[in-house]
Amino acid sequence: AQTVTQSQPEMSVQEAETVTLSCTYDTSENNYYLFWYKQPPSRQMILVIRQEAYKQQNATENRFSVNFQKAAKSFSLKISDSQLGDTAMYFCAFMKSRFTGANSKLTFGKGITLSVRP
Amino acid sequence: DTAVSQTPKYLVTQMGNDKSIKCEQNLGHDTMYWYKQDSKKFLKIMFSYNNKELIINETVPNRFSPKSPDKAHLNLHINSLELGDSAVYFCASSQGTSGYNEQFFGPGTRLTVL
């Protein structure tokens, strides 16, 4: 079974600064997907960024980038130029990549609460 | 236009009652999911349907019964509600069952059992 661990329950960052959120996972799979989801106070789950394990290049989406270390099973999210709207819970998630329906479930970490201070 | 919608958004009910939550997606996706987010914000998959067929059924009490009348709808019926069922229930959908296909989430239904 896969597990996703987010050991930091909360973090705080000053507006315009950079923050890194940590995530580790455990799996025996070789190919899989990793995700970061954002859940603002509105409760809506929003996909921030996705990484395919077979791709060595780290994914980036505007101010969001990841540091994917496959051997270490580590998947951290870096938010640059933090904005007040980044205040939210952030969830790291894992999904197997084999193309069978039963593998399409997301396994989530416990989440981290990020507060951006003005 | 709303992509994945859920009704109701809030549901307060007494223990022992039966209730349903409805989910609809207008994205043309073929796969739909139910996730539960507990009071500690932990999210866990409950069920998934692909083309109206159940493909994921996690360890969920059989008081929970999903129903997919068509590819655009996935409803969740809960019998004999218990205090521990209080949570936020999220519906999601995707085109296909690969991690390549983004799962789009609905706004969630906050269920409170008194």
| Per-residue pLDDT tens over the stretch A5-58 | 999 999 999 999 999 999 999 998 888 999 999 999 999 999 999 999 988 899
Going from N- to C-terminal start, the domains of chain B cover: 4-97+106-113
Domains contained in chain A, number = 1
Q: In terms of residue numbers, what domain contains A90?
A: 3-117
CB contact under 8 A, B42 and A50: no
Chain B's closest residue to A42, CA to CA, is B107
Asked if B64 and B57 touch (Cβ cutoff 8 Å), the reply is no
To the nearest 10°, the Cα dihedral for B49, B55, B58, B61? 60
Nearest to B42 among A33, A103, A110 (CB): A110
Three-state DSSP at A56 gives coil
d(CA B9, CA A76): 32
pLDDT in tens, B65-112: 999 999 999 999 999 999 999 999 999 999 987 777 889 999 999 999
The class level of CATH for B4-97+106-113 reads mainly beta
Kindly state whether A44 is in contact with chain B, defined as any CB-CB distance less than 8 angstroms: yes
Q: Percentage of residues in chain B with pLDDT exceeding 70? A: 98
Pick left, alpha or beta for residue B20 (phi over 0 → left; psi -120 to 50 → alpha; otherwise beta): beta
CA-based Rg of chain B, rounded to a whole angstrom? Answer: 13
State how far residue B114 is from chain A, nearest Cα, in angstroms: 22
Which among A48, A47, A54, A58 has a CA at the least distance from the CA of A33?
A54
Give Cβ neighbours of residue A62 (< 8 Å, ≥ 6 apart): none
In this structure, what CATH number is given to the domain that contains residue A99?
2.60.40.10
Q: Which of A27-31, A75-79, B22-26 has the lowest mean pLDDT?
A: A27-31
CB contact under 8 A, A44 and B107: yes
Structure token pair of residue A42: 């509105």
Which among A53, A47, A2 has a CA at the least distance from the CA of A27?
A2
